[in-house]
């Protein structure tokens, strides 16, 4: 028993350092595109937190662009996921919009992205 306890205490710093070195997986956010909106239509992100935006389409091919955040997703197709990984580096309020002509109200298809500290 004492031998096992000594081994436990000897290995504890090593195990703890491994646990602390494993990076957390980026937060995944599902976003559904549908003529002429995104659901959700607003997301809140933390500055310097890695995220993956996972886009889906319910109808036609869409796109997404938020130039101020350097985000672009092309060809968001029905029954197929499109992923964009990024890390916001500045707080603020940003607006992304559809980047693929999807119909008469295409210009009103927006997603608000708020980045907080």
Return the bridge partners of 93, or none.
Answer: 114
14 pLDDT exceeds 70? yes
Report pLDDT for 17: 67
3-state secondary structure of 4: helix
Question: Per-residue pLDDT tens for 59-97?
Answer: 999 999 999 999 999 889 998 999 999 999 999 999 999
Q: Could you give the percent of the chain with pLDDT greater than 70?
A: 88
Name the pLDDT band for 19 (thresholds 50, 70, 90).
Answer: low
DSSP symbol at 59: S
Is 25-116 CATH 3.30.420.40? no
Residue 113, number of CB atoms within 10 A of its CB: 22
Greater confidence (63 vs 4) lies with 63
Report pLDDT for 20: 61
Locate 115 and state its tokens: 């980045």
Report whether the peptide linkage leading into residue 36 is cis, meaning its omega lies within 30 degrees of zero: yes
Tell me the domain boundaries of the chain. 25-116
114 pLDDT exceeds 90? yes
Q: Could you give the percent of the chain with pLDDT greater than 90?
A: 75
């Amino acid at each position: 028993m004492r031998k096992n306890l000594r081994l436990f205490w000897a290995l504890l710093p090593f195990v703890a350092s491994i646990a602390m070195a494993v990076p957390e997986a980026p937060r995944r956010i599902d976003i559904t595109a549908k003529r002429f909106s995104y659901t959700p239509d607003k997301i809140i992100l933390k500055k310097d937190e890695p995220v993956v935006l996972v886009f889906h389409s319910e109808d036609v091919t869409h796109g997404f662009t938020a130039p101020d955040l350097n985000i672009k997703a092309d060809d968001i197709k029905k029954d197929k996921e499109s992923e964009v990984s990024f890390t916001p580096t500045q707080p603020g309020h940003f607006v992304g919009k559809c980047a693929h002509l999807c119909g008469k109200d295409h210009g009103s298809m927006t997603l608000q992205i708020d980045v907080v500290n």
